[in-house]
Structure 1
């Protein structure tokens, strides 16, 4: 213990008495990091994620550094938490693998708004080391480009003020009293009851920030003048919820495997999370009107997955008209993305399992005979896992949905 204390003191010591003292803060929305040491002379900061394992996988980190010497590089060393977390539906505890905490490239910003990739990090022992040339006295560094409840509300407000065919609404109020911002897109005089409905939601797992940016890209495309986007918003009603798990995002927690269970394991008759219950109510109403058509749940996959991925339920989960539409949707995805990865579920079990509590299974069982639904996972650990790259995926998903509906 004495040796460890001395090492920490040595790491904290500034070798140059005139060097600037870096200041690190996480006291902002979605901030999360526990500082283990600061070397002011080399501008090196060592952290560990600060998320509560009871509130999900503690792999998310997000911090701001002030008083930087902008002429020198900043080094961030990230240790994996090593915390025990629930291991999926079984609830067994397991140690969180470090790859979930160490993106190949971190995200950084000099204004907290525009995010770029760092160069590839370097693994050294039990930590990942990122180097950033700041060019600024203040720097934000995060696991990925953050998208907070405040960002969601501001984004939706911006769109609705600019485009009259976009309407803001509040899906629900969370257990901790936060609003869940949502957006409805519908243009023209065609009555709602004659429009097929599309429901797109993101971030049932708080740390999977790429899902929010994909939803942003979809909404931006639908707001534009691309003829396919104009046709789709005039033909259908599109609902977009860019951030479901507002509480765990706001507090900088991981969300996935949170207690008593995360949002994507909550699609039961009496959900724990108010935003899940509200989504069910909306989708049931759309199904009662006979127009619940497409459901997409946006996620990020495991660290090693580098291609666009989807979870596909067996035809035993869906109405008789849905299966050919599902297969057509997959073909259109292949045309749009090239290579995609499919996880095909087996037939629906006779005895209820945790798999039946996920969102797409619930939707297919409670919607219309032609309703299709997918979990869509966009890679987060690749060179294109940027705000621009995620947005491009959202646009592509919009084109696929438009082509599916246009060819019917």
Structure 2
């Protein structure tokens, strides 16, 4: 049995949905994003749904953190392109996007037991494949360096340079006998050739692994079928937690080689595979069955925090109920309502970045309890727009209400330096 550092726990850092949350259909390959383009959005409801999900995690006994919305519209980005709010045209929706809410794309995280120097390493994702996300990393990096400023415990890296696209933890999994034990880190990349772009480059994944000083990493190609079906990130078709891999049968290009290598590296691994005959790729993606938080409960066993859409799909839910009724490691289903996020193609797992560390080493302003979530909710109810139509996005100018709403939240949380 490998040494387990019991001071290390998993913290789920959720992105708070920003006040400019809208449906502009900016994400090629994200079927939900395209399907809902041009629909009115409800930023207040979206943010409160995210807070409710965090409360559900706290109720499970988990440690919960937050990341804050980015400054939007990003007028500095527009200025770098020689334009502004009045003349941006087609660039305006990309400048207003609240996509930083999906914290799974914030960074790739390697906990201390896996790295050469014994520190937790975080590499901010460059997100260069999609214009609306490509300008996120500077504001994300500021938050990462503030939240994880303890250099004895953390090393925070800048982005992998273009043209190597890196989408962060959404294409990264870690398997270990415990959160505080040495683990095997799995980097899932895509290859071009299908109808949609493969957002994670192999060389970006390898660069992150080298930077983090990993002794045990596996590089796996995502299947073309999964990308073509709308699995724009690996976390739409697979999720891992401790020694459990939960994946769709068609998630990986060469699953047999991957599974064999994983079993060699981690003999205790349990692979829970959902057969395509039971749940098709289309049903898995429509229900976001795998875009779930697979978490270890303090009392033992694992729970799957998954979207209500999975419960609404009869075939998917029947399969899940049979799964938890058995003797496998996943013993509990926790559906949550994140429909505003789901309408843009982001489920429960998209909204969070998992970081294994000692909570005492994290800036406490980025950790939350029930009272702190109450404060966040009060600001959201008071300041976030209730409804935003596509017409308003084009005519709101610099979104003054969104700017003041974000500043009010930063002030409430003692994070004014992020303004």
Q: If the length of structure 1 is used for normalisation, what is the TM-score?
A: 0.27
- TM-score of the pair, normalised by structure 2: 0.27
Structure with a larger share of its residues in strand: 1
Normalized per residue, the structure richer in helix is: 2
Could you say which structure has the larger radius of gyration?
A: 1
* Greater RCO, 1 or 2 (C-alpha within 8 Å, sep 6+): 2
